[in-house]
Amino acid sequence: MISRRQFLFAIAAAGTAATMGCTPLFSTQKYWLVSACSNKNNEHFVAAFDLQGQIISKIKLPARGHDAIAIPEKPGHALIFARRPGTFVLEVDFIQGKITQQIEAQSHSHFYGHGIISPKHNVLLTSENDFATGHGKIVVRDTENYQVLEQFDSGGIGPHQLALMPNNNTIVIANGGIKTHPAQPRKKLNINTMSSNLAYLELASGNIIDSYTLDNHKLSIRHLAVSKTGNVIAGLQYQGAKNDLVPLAISHHGENALQYLSADEDIWRRMNQYTASVCIDDNRDLIAISCPRADMITYWSLTRGEYLTNEKFTDGAGLTQIDKIYATSGKGRLIASKTANSDAQKRLELGFSDLKWDNHLTSIRV
């Protein structure tokens, strides 16, 4: 294990941008898509599949998974994270069809379903809950053996998704603001006092250098993506009254406050107070935000922050971008975004009748 000083020096010295949000990790013509999934018997798996509808391999999980991320230095490999309040992260080799390493959460801690790898630093960063104190933390592990190197305060409660900023020295964290405990796995314990924020953490010091809250404390910042220029886009979930009309997406690009994306009231109402995945296509100036409870995917202008259009996709949640944006659903469907190809006859649509895809989708190099 390296010393804290050595670790922080390595971070400070590195300057290469890493993967952010759902932006591709690589440039290649051969890739697989990866997602957590469940079958009709409520058994849980993670699967890799190609765009011809072929399942490459499917590995059973000890419990339901959430997000998956590629391991850049290991083609065909990914990390799959347990859904909150799970305590496992598994490294999976989809070429061999097996689990190669398992990470367990520390005592009094559980994962929030997300993490990122900084290839230049050779570290894995995960969002976790110290349920003994109720505080969120970011835990740093060596990617060789997954031993803990350091941990930092996340700057809030309930850190969910996180991403590296383009300078590769800062991470942005969606602190959802909701307190949880494994003794009551899915119960939200502090709705009346919850407070969400978007926080920026400097890796070299472990300090929160900026933090921004919303005017409505019952809006929870959950999932995010970062553009090549550092524009952070985040999707929200609302914990208030079901008939409240609230905006459900924000951006932040160095302003003094978080900015709501622009849409008519009808669009916010149709989104049904809930967003899942956020994905950015820089080349097309496009944001995609999935709304599974509304059975649609919404599309927005990245530079203008304005609503563009939507497409119906029943229980659609998982999003990733390679040559175009792809989406998966809890009904076992995979589609390519209609915004990428005006010829509907050539649009990719595949079905996996025995599987229900979970909330997130990623791509891995083969």
Segment 104-139, tens digit of pLDDT? 999 999 999 999 998 777 899 999 999 888 899 999
Pairing of strands 77-82, 325-329: unpaired
Q: What is the pLDDT of residues 218-251, one digit of tens each?
A: 999 999 999 999 999 999 999 999 999 999 999 9
Question: Closest Cα partner for 104 from 120, 88, 123?
Answer: 88
Strand partners, 335: 327, 349
Residue 355 has pLDDT above 70, yes or no: yes
> How confident is the model at residue 16, as a pLDDT?
35
Six token digits for residue 315? 């229980």
- pLDDT more than 90, % of the chain: 80
Nearest-angstrom CA–CA distance, 59 and 95: 11
Q: Please, which pLDDT band fits residue 28 given cuts at 50, 70 and 90? A: very low
pLDDT(320) > 70: yes
Predicted confidence at residue 346, as pLDDT, reads 63
Q: Quick check: 249 and 236 in contact, CB under 8 A?
A: yes
CA angle 65, 85, 161 (to 5 degrees): 70
- CB count within 10 Å of CB 338 equals 19
**Residues in contact with 263: Cβ distance below 8 Å, sequence separation at least 6, in sequence order:** 247, 249, 300, 306, 307
Peptide bond into 166 cis (omega under 30): no
Q: Domains in the chain, please, with CATH?
A: 4-365 (2.130.10.10)
Do 175 and 191 meet the contact criterion of CB atoms below 8 Å apart? no
Task: Give the integer Cα–Cα distance in Å for 327 and 279.
Answer: 10
Q: What is the DSSP letter of 83?
A: P
